[in-house]
């Protein structure tokens, strides 16, 4: 397999692995939490590298993913204290973890060789550097197989937990009432996201991994009305956009993840235009029909706790 094809495949598989849990991230309104996780795994990766000496080590990926859970659980805990407002808990924790990671990288802690640019947007070429060669034949980058394993893990998790994820996302109160442990599902799911983000880190860095998780999923959410369709569409958009973004970055000699983010942005804009045109046409055909009823007023809907 040629090097460029290997890098392209790595980009596509990484994008698919991220987009799949991304659908539930978007529906659970946890998008900015993924931003926090993306930053927080950096110190985990640095420490993991110092211990394992192998950026593709499964131990490193699982261990560093725990740093992502620190943000998730830490922000939940800080929020529960009632001492902080709004979305500030996660915004307090992740810059501190990220700053610690950046300092460790610049001090060459544990001889981890990442330049600060790669920390932000990843370095796909570096990740694809080590090839899996059997009997003189290259089977592509070894890291491709790591990402394939993560993709398979995500597919398996979502297949097994599909009903639990769906019902806890849609209506957590009801889910608890039928005996589902919503908190445990949330923690398990966020750990899965954290593992995915850690594994994708080399491909897309701390910031643009967020684009891979959220943008294809959001585009699919705009276009589809059934969850299975949303999942499928998200993966297709992720793969197609990854290939095109790879080309864009290749032409500009820029980071692949940046090309992917911009191309995903374009796809999202196209989807938005399609939806708007469709909406307008429907309005013209059936002028009496009310819009999406989410916009109907809920006259008594504003006392969530008591009553």
Partner 1 sequence: MSPLEFFADHTYRIVFAGTVVIGLVAGALGSFAYLRKQSLISDVISHAALPGTLIAFLTAVVVLGTDGRSMLGLILGAVVVGTLAVLAANGLTQATKIRIDTAMAISLTVFFGAGMLLLRVISNGDYPGKGGIADYLFGNASVITVADLVTSAVVGGLALLVMGVFWKEFALRTFDPAHTSALGFRASAVDALMFITIVIATVIGVKAVGLVLMVAFVITPPAAARQWTSTLRSMVALSAAIGAVGSGTGAYLSIVLGVPTGPAIVLTLFGIFAVSIAASPRRSVIMRGLARARARAALRRELLAETGATSGGSVASAGAGGSVPGTRSDGVGQS
Partner 2 sequence: MSTPTAARTRSLSVAYRSTPVLRNVDLDVPEGVVLGIVGPNGAGKSTLLKAMLGLVRPLTGTSEFFGRPLSQVRQRVAYMPQSASVDWDFPATVSGVVGMGTYGRLGWLRRPGRTEHEATLRALEHVGIADLAERQIGELSGGQRQRTFLARALAQHPDLLLMDEPFQGVDARSQQAIVAVLHAMRSQGRTVVLVHHDLATVRDYCDHVALLNERLVAAGPVGEAFTRENVRTTYDVTDTDALADLLT
Point out which residues bind partner 2 (CB under 8 A). 27, 82, 160, 163, 166-167, 169-171, 173-174, 176-180, 221, 224-227, 229-230, 292-294, 296, 298-307
Contact partner, 179, from partner 1, partner 2, none, Cβ < 5-8 Å per class:
partner 2
* CA pair distance 7, 131, nearest whole angstrom: 11
Residue with smaller CB distance to partner 2, 196 or 230: 230
* CB of residue 287 to partner 2, shortest distance in Å: 16
Concatenating the DSSP letter of every residue in 110-158 gives: GG----HHHHHH--HHHHT-SEEEETTEEEEEHHHHHHHHHHHHHHHHH
Contact partner, 249, from partner 1, partner 2, none, Cβ < 5-8 Å per class:
partner 1
Concatenating the DSSP letter of every residue in 242-307 gives: HHHHHHHHHHHT--HHHHHHHHHHHHHHHHHHHHHHHHHHHHHH-TTS---GGGS--TTTT--S--
* CA pair distance 181, 174, nearest whole angstrom: 11
Q: Does 90 bind partner 1 (CB under 8 A)?
A: yes
* CA pair distance 108, 88, nearest whole angstrom: 31
Residue with smaller CB distance to partner 2, 27 or 244: 27
* CA pair distance 218, 269, nearest whole angstrom: 11
Q: Are the CB atoms for 172 and 27 separated by under 8 Å?
A: no
Contact partner, 173, from partner 1, partner 2, none, Cβ < 5-8 Å per class:
partner 2
* CA pair distance 287, 190, nearest whole angstrom: 43
* CB of residue 89 to partner 2, shortest distance in Å: 17
Q: Does 103 bind partner 1 (CB under 8 A)?
A: yes
Residue with smaller CB distance to partner 2, 280 or 282: 282
Contact partner, 96, from partner 2, partner 1, none, Cβ < 5-8 Å per class:
partner 1
Single residue of 14, 30, 194, 196 touching partner 1 by CB under 8 A = 30
Q: Does 73 bind partner 1 (CB under 8 A)?
A: no
Contact partner, 55, from partner 1, partner 2, none, Cβ < 5-8 Å per class:
none
Q: Does 92 bind partner 1 (CB under 8 A)?
A: yes
Report angle CA 52, 55, 60 to the nearest 5 degrees. 55
Helix axes 227-252, 182-223, angle to 10 degrees: 70
Q: Where along the sequence are the contacts to partner 1 (CB under 8 A)?
A: 26, 29-35, 78, 81, 83-88, 90-92, 95-96, 98-100, 102-103, 106-107, 116-117, 120-121, 207-208, 210-211, 214-215, 218, 221-222, 248-249, 252-255, 257-262, 264-265, 268, 272, 275-276, 292, 294
């Amino acid at each position: 397999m040629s090097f460029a094809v290997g890098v392209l495949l790595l980009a596509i598989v990484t994008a698919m692995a991220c987009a799949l849990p991304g659908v539930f991230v978007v529906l659970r309104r946890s998008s900015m939490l993924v931003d926090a996780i993306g930053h927080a795994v950096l110190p985990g990766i640095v420490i993991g590298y110092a211990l394992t000496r192998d950026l593709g080590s499964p131990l490193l990926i699982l261990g560093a993913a725990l740093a992502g859970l620190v943000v998730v659980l830490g922000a939940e805990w800080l929020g529960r204290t009632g001492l902080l407002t709004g979305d500030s808990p996660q915004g307090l924790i992740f810059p501190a973890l990220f700053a610690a990671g950046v300092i460790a990288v610049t001090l060459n802690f544990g001889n981890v060789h990442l330049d600060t640019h790669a920390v932000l947007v990843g370095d796909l070429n570096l990740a694809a550097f080590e090839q899996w060669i059997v009997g003189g034949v290259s089977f592509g980058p070894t890291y491709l197989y790591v990402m394939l394993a993560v993709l398979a893990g995500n597919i398996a998790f979502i297949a097994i937990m599909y009903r639990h994820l769906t019902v806890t996302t849609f209506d957590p109160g009801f889910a608890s009432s039928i005996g589902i442990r919503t908190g445990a599902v949330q923690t398990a799911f966020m750990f899965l996201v954290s593992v995915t983000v850690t594994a994708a880190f080399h491909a897309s860095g701390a910031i643009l991994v967020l684009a891979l998780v959220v943008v294809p999923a959001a585009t699919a959410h705009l276009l589809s009305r059934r969850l299975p369709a949303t999942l499928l569409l998200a993966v297709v958009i992720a793969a197609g956009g990854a290939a095109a973004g790879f080309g864009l970055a290749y032409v500009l000699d820029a980071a692949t993840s940046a090309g992917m983010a911009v191309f995903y942005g374009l796809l999202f804009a196209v989807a938005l235009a399609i939806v708007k045109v469709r909406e307008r046409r429907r309005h013209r055909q059936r002028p009496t029909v009310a819009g999406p009823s989410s916009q109907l007023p809920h006259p008594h809907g504003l006392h969530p706790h008591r009553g």
